[in-house]
Structure formats: structure tokens, C-alpha cells
Amino acid sequence: MAELIVRFVPSIQKVRMCNSGTEATMSAIRLARGFTKRDKIIKFSGCYHGHSDSLLIKAGSGALTHGHPDSAGIPAAFAHETIVLPFNDGLALEAAFAAHPHKIAGVIVEPYPANVGLILPAPGYLQYLRTLCTANGALLIFDEVMTGFRLARGGVQEIEKITPDLTTLGKIIGGGLPVGAFGGRAEIMDWLAPLGPVYQAGTLSGNPLTMAAGIAALNLLEEVDPYPRLERLGRQVQGALLAAARQKGLPLQVPQVGSMFAVFFNAKPVRDYATALRSDAKLFARFFHGCLERGVYLPPSAYETAFLSTAHEGPAIDRACQIMTEAFNAL
């Protein structure tokens, strides 16, 4: 498994397996803090990195859908070490680094945030993030738990040609079983126990059942190379949704990349958490139920990303597009 991950994701020289995405991001943050000997981290509002205390602050996903972007039970002292910034805002990043010189251990980001719907980075934004992290001695952590192996074998970092210091993975690399992993430059990973002083371990980490399922999934992805086909199908869905909205005179944004897309009833492009929340969630709910009644099951929240799967073939997508168009017309 480690050999496959290292081969597919060039920024990862060494990898540590764990049991969930939450464990992966939690441990990557601890490693960044241990390696840099700094305490503060930056995350972005709406990015969800699992449910560890440092990261469940202004998170998206289910926490947002149910109206609790912050969780009870997180000590204020923990939250104090987490700086939350808007995504796609280079000036806010600069200001945060300037306000906390030599204090920021790392920046964790979903490079294509997908837990408030799907938000795509403005041109140059991720590159600027890389530049600022390097200039300030902070580690750049790409959370590719969702995007890893979904958009490309090398994740968003392959598409955007950016080398993070650490990467977190999960979901697909377990082939359906519980999994997480984090990895990066050997020089950083060597700080992990038992070689280094940053503790991390787990009874079920790297268990043979999950590894067998994950290896099978990654081998299949290598054999089949589903990504060009998923991109075509994703564009087809985006085109159909936008055409139906135009016909109906409804404002709609459909950010899409590969197999991922989101449906925002919003007149303006969604560039961050605040603009995502300005979308019409009630209209989304009516659209969702219109699709469900007709046989298309979208994610049941205005703030979730929809995924196509390798199991979706052309005729299924043709039919889904037709049904979503009908649901639009019925709004």
C-alpha cells in the first residue's frame, strides 16, 4: 500500500496508515506542530477536516447542514490556536502571517473545498498559499481525503502542480473499509515515533483487511484510468443543469471538476464559505425532492458536493440529466 501511494503521489516520500480521515488530519497537525515547534495553525472556513478538536472550528459538512458550524465541547484555549480565514483571499493570508510571525506551524486546506458544496480556487491562489507557507516556515498540508484518487491518481496536487509538505488521504484508499493515511517529505515524517518525538500509533492501523481492499481499489484505478471519462460525464451534468436553469430563468452556479459538482442557487460565483451560505437552500431543497421523486438521489443538503462514480455509465447520466431538467421545470 505504501509503495502504491508513494508511486502515485510524488510529494509523499513516506506514509503512515491510520483508520480514518479524522486521524490523518489530527496526526498531520500534531506532526506539523512538532516539526516546526510552533502551535498555531490556519484553516479555512467551510473546510471540513474531520472532528478533532483543533479542526472542528467553522467546519462545513454535516456540522454546517445541521446549523452548528462550531461544536460544543471544544475548549476555548484549543480554538485559540486555530486561525480561521476565508478561502480564496490572499490578503487575509498575508495579514495572518504578518500578525503571527514565527507562530504558525502549518496551513491545512482542502485544495478544492468540497464540504460547503464545491468551491474552486481562484487562478494562482493555491500557488500563492504555497509561496507564503515557504516564506514563513509553515508547513502546507493538503487534505486530499476527499479528492485523493477521486480526481486524479496524484490528487489535486497533480492537477495544480503544487507540492505540499504533507498530504492526508482516506476514503478511496480503503476500498470501502475504514482508513486514513498521511505522508510527505521524509525529513518531516521522520519526526514521527518511533524514529522521532511526535507520537502516533493505532491498534488497527494498516490492518490487513483494509490494506487488501485498498490495494485492490488502487490497482483497479491504475488499470482502468477512469478520470477522462468522469470529466466528460461531469461536464455533461454541469451543461444540462446550467441549460435547464437558463431556460427557467433561475440563477444557478454549478462548479464542477471531474466527478465532483455542486448545485448552488446563487446569482454570483461561489468563492468562499460566506458566498456559499448566500445560496438559496430552500430552493435547493425543492429541487432535491423533485429529483428524488423522479429517481435521482442528490446529496440531501445545499452544502454537500455531488459525486459521479465509476459505476455511472453514459445512459445513466443521460437519464439523470433528463430528470434533473424535469425537476428544474417543475420548480
Ligand X SMILES: Cc1ncc(COP(=O)(O)O)c(C=O)c1O
Nearer to ligand X, 69 or 290 (CB): 69
246 Cβ contact list (under 8 Å, min separation 6): none
Q: Which of 82, 115, 157, 167 binds ligand X (CB under 6 A)?
A: 115
Of 30, 24, 25, nearest in space to 109 by CA? 25
Site for ligand X (CB under 6 A): which residue of 11, 20, 82, 136? 20
Q: Where are the alpha helices (DSSP H) in 225-303?
A: 227-248, 273-277, 281-294
* Stretch binding ligand X (CB under 6 A), from 15-23, 29-37, 126-134, 310-318: 15-23
By C-alpha distance, which of 36, 190, 187 is closest to 106?
36
Grid cell for residue 313? 455509465
CB of 141 to ligand X, least distance (A): 11
Q: Which CB, 33 or 51, lies closer to ligand X?
A: 51
Residue 249 identity: G
22 binding ligand X? (CB under 6 A): yes
> Which of 38, 72, 66, 42 lies closest to 55, judged by CA?
42
- The reply to whether 170 sits near ligand X by the rule CB under 6 A is yes
Closest distance to ligand X from the beta carbon of 191 (Å) = 22
Return the sign of the alpha-carbon dihedral for residues 230, 237, 62, 291: negative
Alpha helices (runs of H) in 137-226, residue ranges in sequence order = 155-160, 186-189, 208-224
Distance CA 323, CA 248 (A): 15
Helix, strand, coil abundance in the chain, percent, nearest 5:
45, 15, 45
Q: Which of 5, 146, 172, 173 binds ligand X (CB under 6 A)?
A: 146
Residues involved in catalysis: 48, 143, 171
Q: Are 291 and 323 in contact (CB under 8 A)?
A: yes
Q: Which of 48, 149, 182, 265 binds ligand X (CB under 6 A)?
A: 48
The reply on whether position 148 binds ligand X by CB under 6 A is: no
User: Which residue in the set 46, 50, 154, 183 belongs to the binding site for ligand X (CB under 6 A)?
Assistant: 50
Q: What string marks each residue from 202 to 241 as x (binds ligand X by CB under 6 A) or -?
A: ----------------------------------------
Q: What angle do CA 171, 253, 161 make, to 5 degrees?
A: 50
Q: Which of 4, 11, 14, 21 binds ligand X (CB under 6 A)?
A: 21
- Closest by CA to 152, choosing from 239, 230, 263, is 230
List the end-to-end C-alpha distance of the chain, in Å, as a whole number: 48
C-alpha grid cell for residue 275? 458566498
Q: Would you give the binding string for ligand X spanning residues 52-71, x where CB under 6 A is met?
A: ---------x----------
Could you give the string, one character per residue 261-300, with x where binding to ligand X holds by CB under 6 A and - elsewhere? ----------------------------------------
Q: Does 49 bind ligand X (CB under 6 A)?
A: yes
Compare residues 27 and 136 and give the one whose CB is closer to ligand X: 27
Q: Which of 84, 107, 145, 320: binder of ligand X (CB under 6 A)?
A: 145
Binding residues vs ligand X (CB under 6 A): 20-22, 25, 48-50, 61, 110, 115, 143, 145-146, 170, 180
